[in-house]
Chain A
Amino acid sequence: MSSGSNTQGSNRTGRYYNYAYLDEQTKRMIRRTILKALAIPGYQVPFGSREMPVPYGWGTGGIQLTAAIIGPDDVYKCIDQGADDTTNAVSIRRFFAQVADVAVTEETAEATIIQTRHRIPEKPLKEGQILVFQVPQPEPLRGLEPRETETRAMHAYEEYGLQYVSLYESVSAYGYIANTVGYPTMIEERYLMSPSPIPKFDNPKLGDNEAILLFGAGREKRIYAVPPYTRVRSLDFEDYPFETQTWEENCALCGAEDSYLDEVILDDAGERMFVCSDSCFCAERRASGHVGTMGDHALAHLEGGPPAVASPVAEPA
């Protein structure tokens, strides 16, 4: 690197990659993009997305965002569908432990950077935390308008009537707004934004959040952001207001009434259970004594108790 100061620890001997995998110029470019995205909430800022060591669709946008903002003092958490223990989450977490020397955690409150796919953690985020979303399709209008030139003009001129067509179709087909993921939102009453495929259950958490919300789409080469304390409105009709999902049951393991539940099929006879999708939230509740109807199920033991306190991962050989 001829110009720019390197991130601390980037020149350690024995490292085959630059600190946090990306080179310093790329990280600088991404940081500038992030600043622009934060300055215009909800606006999709193009950036020079790089090839990453995972395929498109596995979180390349999110990984690049994390790589650009991470430092050795950060505590990193990665979730996929709310869970810390899924393959994708585990390998991305291991990746950053290896290339960025950061402490990793499964504890939402301890993390400074949380990379996520499909969920916002149940526990409210605090100032100083950054939530990084992996986004497959940043353009909320794409399903209805295939031309990029046209969707850009629609954003520029605030022509968002088209987005209501998808809601209209849903009401006419199901009698209510049945869209459940990637539910379109309006940021500060200016930019229409796809919240990435989070369930609409999480949409209310986008608004007025204390944390910084960053969205990265690697294949589509777009970064956008919702800064802290931003107004976010989920679109709806006057006669069909926005509603989040509800469940008739509580979490079978921890008994939570207010968390997002996953349905788990237990056998071929139709036996099933509903459990919190946020594994950290569920484990914490169980540790503090909450028990659901199937609290002694093997799944609870499989996940173990509350996650261990953050500890740096062993140095790579």
Chain B
Amino acid sequence: MNAMAQNAHKAIEATPLLRVDGLTKWYGHVVGCRDVSFEIRPGEVLGIVGESGSGKTTVLNCISGRLPPSAGQVEFDTSRFGPADIYGLSEPDRRRMQREEWGFVHQNPRDGLRMRASGGANVAEPLMNLGGRHYGKMRAATIEWLERVELDIGRIDDKPRHFSGGMQQRIQVARNLIHGPRLVFMDEPTGGLDVSVQARLLDLLRELVRDLGLAVIIVTHDMAVARLMADRLMVMKSGYVVETGLTDQVLDDPQHPYSQLLVSSVLQI
């Protein structure tokens, strides 16, 4: 058995990290998402693809504890309480779990960074939130992480607005990984970036995810990103999940007419 197959085998045996069951979200009479169910295991990368308005971000917000669903369950294997419905936890417990065990990479780094604090402080903040009170140690960890995301250490104390979009995104990635989360949510992490920067960021993300054995749920409308990052894909349309499967399987042999359309509409150069 080769390494990849072994990993896959391990992933199947492990208990699910996140289990979503019958997730439904209504915005008044408008459907956000309908009856979404899936599981994700440690070390697995799940992609959610679909056109804009298909409910990808609604699903992501619901499962990341940011938007209470209208119906359905989101169960996370918490380190303090074991598997627990995240909306059944008390608010302080849920916020603590989000701080300790999750990361959330926003499409727009301005949403995920504190623009008034320096890049270094942004990266170190999760450590302080978890009780870090030793400046020297936190500074060292920050520098280590900025190096990992290939940022110039000399600019550690610059404000985020003085960095380019791609650099801001890398600061955001470092900020969301420094505290060793088990599950990271990513909402179009390469969204507003030009293609070459996108490629480098994707490369970096892929490396980090594999090195750290992270579970990642990544929302994207970009099939290339999905192909590079995700082990499994979930195709959404009008709030429903229309197809799921291994990434290569879905992209190479789409079954649902909408998936076929989605795959065939990717621009070729």
Question: Is A248's beta carbon under 8 Å from chain B?
Answer: no
* Given contact pairs A168-B124, A237-B133, A239-B134, A143 touches B91 in the complex (Cβ within 8 A): no
Q: With contacts A144-B114, A144-B117, A164-B133 known, is A172 near B128, CB below 8 A? A: no
B237 interfacial contact with A, CB 8 Å:
no
Is A172 a contact partner of B157 (Cβ separation < 8 A)? yes
Do B121 and A169 touch (CB < 8 A)?
yes
List the A side residues contacting B120 at CB < 8 Å: 168, 172
Binding stretch for chain A, among B33-41, B44-52, B135-143: B135-143
Between B120, B131, B135, the greatest number of chain A beta carbons within 10 A of the residue's beta carbon is seen for: B135
Given A144-B114, A157-B91, A159-B95: A168 and B136 interface contact (C-beta under 8 Å): no
Known: A143-B116, A161-B128, A162-B128. A168 touches B133 (CB 8 A): no
Residue pair B125, A237 in contact (C-beta under 8 Å): no
A235-267 vs B, CB cutoff 8 Å, 1 = contact: the mask equals 001111000000000000000000000000000
Note all chain B residues with C-beta closer than 8 A to A172.
118, 120-121, 139, 156-157
From residue 120 to 159 of chain A, which have CB atoms closer than 8 A to chain B? 143-144, 153, 156-157, 159
The yes or no answer to A269 lying at the interface (CB within 8 A) is no
Question: What A residues does B156 contact at CB under 8 A?
Answer: 172
| A313 at the B interface (CB under 8 A) | no
B92 contacts chain A at the CB level, 8 A cutoff: yes
What is the CA–CA distance of A48 and B133 in the complex, to the nearest angstrom? 38
* CB <8 Å contact, A153 and B95: yes
Q: Is the CB of B135 within 8 A of A165?
A: no
Contacts of B99 in A (CB 8 A): 159
- Given A169-B118, A172-B157, also A161-B91 (CB < 8 A): no
Closest A residue to B139 using CB positions: A172
- Give the chain A neighbours of B125 by CB distance below 8 A: 161-162, 165
Compute how far the CA of A167 lies from the CA of B135 in the bound complex, rounded to whole angstroms.
9
B133 adjacent to A238 (CB under 8 Å): yes
User: A168 and B114 in contact (CB under 8 A), knowing A161-B125, A161-B130, A162-B128?
Assistant: no
In the complex, what's the smallest C-beta–C-beta distance from A171 to chain B, in angstroms? Answer: 5
Interface status of A173 (Cβ within 8 A of chain B) = yes
CB distance from B153 to the nearest CB of A (A): 12
A168 touches B138 (CB 8 A): yes
Q: Which of chain A's residues has its CB closest to B133's CB? A: A238
Q: Which residues of B contact A238 (CB under 8 A)?
A: 133-135
Question: CA–CA, A161 to B175, complex, Å?
Answer: 14
A220 to B135, CA, bound (A): 33
Complex CA gap A172/B131 in Å reads: 19
Report the bound CA distance from A147 to B156 in whole Å.
26
Contact of B117 among A157, A165, A171, A237 (CB under 8 A): A165
| CA A75 to CA B248, docked complex, whole Å | 82
Q: Does B70 contact A (CB under 8 A)?
A: no
- Chain A residues near B118 (CB, 8 Å)? 169, 172-173
Of all A-B residue pairs in the complex, the 8 with the closest CB atoms, nearest first, are A161-B129, A157-B92, A161-B128, A164-B128, A237-B135, A238-B134, A165-B121, A168-B121
6 A-B contacts, Cβ less than 8 Å apart?
A: A144-B117, A157-B91, A159-B99, A164-B132, A172-B156, A237-B134
Not counting A162-B129, A165-B125, A169-B118, a sample of 16 additional A-B residue pairs whose C-beta atoms are within 8 angstroms of each other reads: A153-B95, A157-B92, A157-B95, A161-B125, A161-B128, A161-B131, A164-B133, A172-B121, A172-B139, A172-B156, A172-B157, A237-B134, A238-B133, A238-B134, A239-B134, A240-B135
Contact residues of A with B, CB < 8 Å? Answer: 143-144, 153, 156-157, 159, 161-162, 164-165, 167-169, 171-173, 237-240
